Amino acid sequence: MTLLSQLTTSTQSSQTYNSSGLSAAAQKVLATAKATAAQSTSTSATTPAASTQSDVSISAEALAAAQAKDDNAKDFATLSSEVRATLNSQYAAQKTAGKTGTTPDLSSLSGRAVAAIALNRSGAFSRSEVMAAKAELRTRTQEEFAKSTMASGGGTAGIAAYSSQMVSLFDDMSDEEREARGWSDSTRANASAFVQKSTTPSLWEKLNSSDS
């Protein structure tokens, strides 16, 4: 499958993360921010000239990055077990709330955690959970593509912008998430080549530049 075909048919924009589903690393980021906010509030009470800010906003991207870094460092089997426990907790909460069915919410999981479900190497996940994980990864790819291309005005420039982003994502991504997304070394090579081609001046542009 060509890069352009992958870009147009595949489907991490910003996600909403809540503290109950975060890893220890993400919790640490949140705790640090809260401590900073508390210190700021205490200082403002005793020092008139100090800032009156009483809260610190943590972006979804920062929490997601902390979550991904933590999950990428784990043994994959261990991560799979943790994800299984997370889904079980979700289902228990849904049952307590009187909701029927077992629909997993994967929005707060890192890419590698979602890949653990999609690849199902442990055999611990149901067919419906595997399908939900694959759909989640397609959605993240679609949103990444849409966000990048729209920010660059669409067209060839937009695809080039996403291709550049894809190279960065690929380099930061775990082997498991690459596999679950269907990304290979050739995917990265094609993306890199597209970026280089789109930024290389054409012969016509070179002639016009020499005339000026």
Listed by start position, the domains of the chain span 23-43+58-73
Which tens digits make up the pLDDT trace of 33-73? 455 445 544 544 444 444 444 445 567 788 888 899 999 99
Between 130 and 34, whose confidence is greater? 130
Q: What is the mean pLDDT of residues 159-187?
A: 94
Predicted confidence band of residue 15 (pLDDT cuts 50, 70, 90): very low
DSSP code string of 10-44: ---------GGG--HHHHHHHHHHHHHHHHHHHHH
Strands, E, within the chain: which ranges?
none
| C-alpha–C-alpha distance, residues 125 and 83, integer Å | 10
| 156 CB-side CA count, 13 A | 7
Q: What is the pLDDT of residue 24?
A: 53
List the structure tokens of 211: 């005339």
Position with higher pLDDT, 103 vs 79: 79
What pLDDT sits at residue 128? 95
- Which percentage of the chain shows pLDDT scores above 70? 66
Dmax over CA atoms of the chain, in Å, equals 74
Q: pLDDT value at position 18?
A: 40
C-alpha 205: how far from chain center? 37
pLDDT bracket for residue 80 (50, 70, 90): very high
pLDDT confidence bin for 170, thresholds 50/70/90:
very high
